[in-house]
């Protein structure tokens, strides 16, 4: 995929992240930080960010930059996933996606099918799964699963990571007597610094710069190498999030926002050091994932 199409796809992700007009300062900072971690020759993420934030990027103009049917379909899929990052699409986001579909010339059959699949993942019921092991084993198992999802080529695989992380936080809160709703879990992730749209944008852009497209174009080794980077980050984020939630709820939810962010940051560093020991387990887990069955189980 050439530079023009990759730039347009990233721009669509950024436009989708502000489609509902409710992105706060913390989420903007998280997305900007995610973009700052992306390094790809020829793809200037900072310039695109400035164009979108400054209102110099239009949806119609960006859609016209996608030159192939495959790129146009992928652009719509990425936009849906970003809009669904904080729950199934609201009215403003649906209007944005409807306009995007018209600009891309996509059929309603295609767009409705994908949006239904994405909404099903985004509306995951927060029910704690039965666990026969200790808390550490539960967190490690979930971290390995989320890492494995990053190695799959399907775009919806990345979207499944957020419900799995939310479900983990819910389960750990319940262990300590806290009945949490979706809003509280989202707030916890936000305070910890796990921005939802930022996670998705970072994950998809890793695919844009070589993971998914490297595999589709035959660059298997480079694509899988970049996929492994994403797997390591998802493993570490999930592992740190789980242990932060365990300490937070076990301690009676007394940590301040700053203390929780500091705790999450220290745990994230530890998790990144731990990940290489589990790289083989992550790869083996990816080979055994049935995304369709996982989606049904989450729903």
Are the beta carbons of 240 and 267 closer than 8 angstroms? yes
Number of Cβ within a 10 Å radius of residue 51: 18
Between residues 115 and 92, the one the model is more confident about: 92
Residue 29: per-residue pLDDT: 64
Domain spans of the chain, in order of start: 3-122, 135-298
Q: What is the mean pLDDT of the chain?
A: 76
Burial of 190 (0-12, 13-18, 19+ CB in 10 A): middle
Between residues 155 and 108, the one the model is more confident about: 108
Specify the range with the lowest mean pLDDT, choosing from 138-152, 178-192, 213-227: 213-227
- Percentage of the residues of the chain whose pLDDT score is greater than 70: 66
For residue range 157-216, what is the model confidence (pLDDT) as tens digits? 666 777 788 788 888 888 888 887 766 776 787 777 665 556 656 655 555 554 433 333
Q: Confidence class of residue 222 from pLDDT cuts 50, 70 and 90? A: very low
CATH 1.10.3680 fits 3-122, yes or no: yes
Question: Does pLDDT of 37 surpass 80?
Answer: no
């Amino acid at each position: 995929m050439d530079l023009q199409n990759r730039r347009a796809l990233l721009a669509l992700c950024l436009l989708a992240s502000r489609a509902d007009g409710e992105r706060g300062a913390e989420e903007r900072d998280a997305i900007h930080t995610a973009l700052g971690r992306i390094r790809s020759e020829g793809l200037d993420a900072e310039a695109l960010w400035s164009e979108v934030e400054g209102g110099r990027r239009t949806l119609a103009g960006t859609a016209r930059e996608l030159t192939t049917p495959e790129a146009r379909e992928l652009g719509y899929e990425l936009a849906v996933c970003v809009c669904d990052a904080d729950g199934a699409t609201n009215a403003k986001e649906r209007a944005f996606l409807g306009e995007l579909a018209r600009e891309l010339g996509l059929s309603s059959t295609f767009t409705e099918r994908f949006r239904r699949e994405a909404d099903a993942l985004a509306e995951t019921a927060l029910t704690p799964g039965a666990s026969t092991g200790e808390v550490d084993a539960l967190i490690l198992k979930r971290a390995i699963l989320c890492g494995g999802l990053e190695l799959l080529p399907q775009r919806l695989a990345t979207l499944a990571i957020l419900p799995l992380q939310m479900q983990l936080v819910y389960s750990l809160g319940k262990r300590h007597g806290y009945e949490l709703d979706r809003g509280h879990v989202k707030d916890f992730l936000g305070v910890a610094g796990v921005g939802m749209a930022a996670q998705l944008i970072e994950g998809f852009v890793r695919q844009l710069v070589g993971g998914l497209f490297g595999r589709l174009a035959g660059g298997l080794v480079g694509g899988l190498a970049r996929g492994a980077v994403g797997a390591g980050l998802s493993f570490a984020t999930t592992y740190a999030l789980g242990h932060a939630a365990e300490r937070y709820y076990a301690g009676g939810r007394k940590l301040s926002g700053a203390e929780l962010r500091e705790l999450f940051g220290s745990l994230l560093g530890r998790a990144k050091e731990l990940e290489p020991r589990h790289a083989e387990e992550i790869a083996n887990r990816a080979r055994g994932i049935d995304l369709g069955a996982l989606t049904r189980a989450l729903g």
